[in-house]
Structure 1
């Protein structure tokens, strides 16, 4: 019997916009911008407001889809080396988030760890989270940070600063062709 958190039941959301936001963050870090650019932040806020509630929810679902896809890739890589993805990825993610107290308040880190664990087990992160009620405003930055940290982790494993973005872009292209 399939789980109610099975990815086949999950909305994909707007993966393209979610990927654009994560890629923008990755490029900003690699360009040496460690502080968030106020102008960039305002543009993101304006863009998000322009999407309206449904569009913003689609981007949220898209971010969860990214997390699922990243964890699926990481799980496959870890299994090739007979390693447990949860054992190797979740503690590092939590440690990184703990070093980001402004973006990731400590009270939401367990939710993000659970979200990544669910994805690592092959469950839909957004359906897993939905079991516990609606998303909170306090979870939005940590959700983005989670997707960012997973993408950066993948890029380091692949030794390619654009690998995670390219992987998703290629998957989206392949899906469009089908």
Structure 2
């Protein structure tokens, strides 16, 4: 039986813009900066300001698409090692989220976990979230951070700092060609 949260019904969104924001955060993380580069942060904020409400919704959908793709990759990697992706990914993600109270207010953690579980079970994270109403402003930063944490985990597993970004970029290239 098909679910209304099936990925085939989900808008893909602006995956390129979402990936740019995620990659920017990863680069700051890998450069061991304690704070984001102010110039880089200003450019991201200027970019976000030009999007308008419709553009922001597109980037949110794009971030959810990326989370879905990352969780699919992690699910396949876990299956290759007879592991359950939810058991392998979610507890450590929650532990990391709890260590970051300025980024993940306690009330946003269940939503981010729901996104991960939805994606891990083959559901669209954005359609799963949409059934509870519009995104709140308090959820925007945690959504981006959730995608960044997944990307960093994939990079660590693959021992390649650019693997997660390349994974999405290659998928985008293939979808444009075919």
TM bin, normalised by shorter chain, reads over 0.9
Residue aligned with 1:102, SS:
coil
Partner in structure 1 of residue 8 of structure 2 = 8
Partner in structure 1 of residue 143 of structure 2 = 143
Alignment map for 1:1-178 (pairs within 5 Å): 1-178=1-178
Aligned Cα RMSD in Å? 0.8
Give me the TM-score of the superposition, normalised by structure 1. Answer: 0.98
* Post-superposition CA distance 1:142-168 (Å, at most 9, x none): 000000000000000000000000011
What is the CA distance between 1:96 and its match in structure 2? 0.6
Count of aligned residue pairs for this structure pair: 178
Residue aligned with 2:146, SS:
helix
Contact map agreement 2:28 2:37 (CA 8 A) in 1: no
What is the CA distance between 1:35 and its match in structure 2? 1.3
- Please list every run of at least 4 consecutive aligned residues from structure 1 whose deviation after the TM superposition is greater than 6 angstroms: none
Give me the TM-score of the superposition, normalised by structure 2. Answer: 0.98
CA distance in 1, matches of 2:56, 2:44: 11
What is the CA distance between 1:33 and its match in structure 2? 1.2
